[in-house]
Amino acid sequence: MEKLYYSISEVADLLAISKSKLRFWETEFPLLRPHRNEKGTRYYTAENIKLIKEIIFLKKQKLKNEGARQKLRDNKDDISKKQEITERLTAIRSELLEIAKHL
């Protein structure tokens, strides 16, 4: 069963990025707003994680923060679809390489 909330450490480990980068992106990307408890501890939802994956996808395309913000604002659905397709193709490629090793 999928969790409702993830800590900043869990998200950083899951996506292989630093906690400081996640905190920085919160200031740079207004759409990224994790829930906070009364102590200020961040709790990320699955939707937050999806957005972070999209930001990573855009950053890998060498976009600066302003360009990534604009793409997310203008083409959110398109970016989401492209990111998911890229993620699937990467997984398929890994599987095919693993199969080729065993042949």
Give domain limits for the chain. 8-102
Average pLDDT over residues 3-18: 94
- Whether residue 79 has pLDDT greater than 60: yes
Residue 1 has pLDDT above 80, yes or no: no
pTM of the model: 0.81
The predicted structure's pLDDT at residue 76:
74
Tell whether the model's pLDDT for residue 13 goes beyond 70.
yes
Token look-up 């999806």 returns 50
Using CA atoms, how far apart are residues 16 and 93, in angstroms rounded to an integer?
Answer: 19
Beta pairing partners, 42: 36
In the predicted model, is pLDDT for residue 74 greater than 90?
Answer: no
The C-alpha atoms of residue 38 and residue 36 are separated, in whole angstroms, by 7
CATH of 8-102, one of 2.40.50.140, 3.90.1150.10, 1.10.1660.10, 1.10.3720.10: 1.10.1660.10
Q: How far is CA 32 from CA 1, 6, 51, 87, in A?
A: 24, 14, 7, 20
